[in-house]
Structure 1
Amino acid sequence: MRPESTAIVTGGARGIGQSICVELARRGASVVVADLDTDEMAETKEMVEETGRRCEPIETNVGSSEDVEETVEWVVDEFGSVEYLVNNAGIAGPTASCENVSTDDWEQTLAVNLKGPFQMCREVVPHMRAESFGRIVNIASVTGKRPLPNRTPYAASKMGVIGFTRTLAAEVGDANINVNAVCPGSVDGPRIRRVFERQAAETGRDYEEIRGDVEREAARGELVDSEDVADLVGYLCSEHSERITGQDINVSAGKVMY
Structure 2
Amino acid sequence: MPRVLITAGASGIGRAMAEAFDAAGYEVWVTDVDTDALQSCPGNWRCRVVDAADETQIATLFDGIAGAGGLDVLCANAGVKGPTAPIEEVTLDDWRACTAVTLDGAFLVAKYAAPLMKAAGQGVILFTSSTAGIYGYPNRSPYAAAKWAVIGLMKTVAMELGPFGIRSNAILPGAVEGPRMERVLEAEAKAKGMTRDQVYNGYAAGVSMKTWVEARDIADMAVFLASDGARRVSGQVIAVDGHTVNPDPQV
What are structure 2's unaligned runs of at least 5 residues?
247-251
**1:35 and 2:27 aligned:** no
Note the 1:1-258 alignment, pairs <5 A: 4-43=1-40, 45-46=41-42, 54-77=44-67, 79-255=68-244
Matched-pair contact (CA < 8 Å) for 1:142–1:256: no
Report the Cα offset of residue 39 of structure 1.
1.1
Specify whether residues 64 and 256 from structure 1 end up closer, same or farther in structure 2 by C-alpha distance, changes over 3 A only. Answer: farther
TM-score by length of 1: 0.93
Deviations 1:179-221 (A, max 9, x none): 0000010111111111110111222211111111111101111
Give 1:170 deviation, angstroms.
0.3
Q: Post-superposition shift, 1:231?
A: 0.3
What is the DSSP-based 3-state SS (H/G/I as helix, E as strand, rest coil) of the residue aligned with 2:160?
helix
**What is the one-letter code of the residue matched to 2:105?**
G
Residue 232 of structure 1 aligns with an amino acid whose one-letter code is M
In structure 1, stretches of 5+ residues that fail to align are: none
CA distance in 2, matches of 1:203, 1:140: 24
Amino acid at match of 2:39: A
Q: Distance in 2 between matches of 1:243 and 1:210?
A: 39
Distance 2:201 2:8 in 1: 28
Confirm or deny: 8 A CA contact 1:250 1:256 kept in the other structure: no
* CA RMSD across the alignment: 1.1
* Equivalences, count: 246
SS of the residue corresponding to residue 145 of structure 1 reads helix
CA distance in 2, matches of 1:13, 1:226: 13
The one-character-per-residue Cα deviations of 1:16-62 (angstroms, maximum 9, x if unpaired) are: 0000001111111101111111111122x22xx5xxxx311001101
CA distance in 2: counterparts of 1:83 and 1:200, whole angstroms? 41
Aligned residue for 1:210, secondary structure, equals: helix
TM-score computed with the length of structure 2 as normaliser: 0.96
CA deviation after TM superposition for structure 1 residue 147, in Å: 2.2
Superposition deviation, residue 66 in structure 1 = 0.5
The percentage of aligned residue pairs carrying the same residue is 33
Structure 1 stretches of 4+ with a deviation exceeding 2 A read none
Aligned-residue offset at 1:256: 5.0
